[in-house]
């Protein structure tokens, strides 16, 4: 059974940092592109960042470029999202998603096959 589990969310003041982790069981991350999305109540799930299966390619939403960094450690079957200079507008539930490979990364949520349950990130002003 495939499970994707996010961790690392929490409450932080504006300007602070958090690192989210995404771990998988039941599948080997090494061949899967992985992305982070975020969602607030009543809104669609928005793309945040994505990384290719080998970590050689990354892409970011314009709103997080220069502040967030996605990375992966395939030996640990884990993907990370380092979030710096956080803003109240970054408040959301953050989801990790993996796409069946081989495939390129995508900014579209429905192209991903496996999802975690999400982790809450709250940035206070």
Average pLDDT on 39-43 reads 96
pLDDT, tens digit (0-9, with 9 covering 90-100), for 48-101: 999 999 999 999 999 999 999 999 998 999 999 999 999 999 999 999 999 997
Instruction: Please report which confidence band the pLDDT of residue 38 belongs to, taking 50, 70 and 90 as the band edges.
Output: very high
Instruction: State the Cα–Cα distance between residues 51 and 60, nearest whole angstrom.
Output: 9
Instruction: Please report which confidence band the pLDDT of residue 102 belongs to, taking 50, 70 and 90 as the band edges.
Output: confident
Strands (E) across the chain are located at: 3-7, 10-13, 18-25, 34-39, 46-51, 58-60, 68-73, 78-83, 92-98, 114-115, 119-124
Percentage with pLDDT > 90 across the chain: 85
- Is the pLDDT at 29 greater than 80? The verdict is no
Instruction: State the Cα–Cα distance between residues 32 and 78, nearest whole angstrom.
Output: 11
Instruction: State the Cα–Cα distance between residues 51 and 21, nearest whole angstrom.
Output: 13
Task: Give which of 108, 101, 120, 114 is closest to 23, Cα–Cα.
Answer: 114
């Amino acid at each position: 059974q495939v499970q994707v589990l996010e961790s690392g969310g929490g409450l932080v003041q504006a300007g602070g940092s958090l690192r989210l982790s995404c771990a998988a069981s039941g599948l080997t991350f090494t061949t899967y592109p992985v992305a982070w999305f975020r969602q607030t109540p009543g809104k669609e799930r928005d793309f945040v960042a994505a990384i290719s299966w080998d970590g050689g390619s990354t892409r970011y939403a314009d709103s997080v470029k220069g502040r967030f960094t996605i990375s992966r450690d395939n030996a640990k079957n884990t993907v990370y999202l380092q979030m710096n200079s956080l803003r109240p507008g970054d408040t959301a539930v953050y989801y990790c998603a993996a796409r069946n490979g081989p495939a390129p990364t995508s900014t579209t949520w429905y192209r991903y096959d496996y999802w975690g349950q999400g982790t809450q990130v709250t940035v206070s002003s």
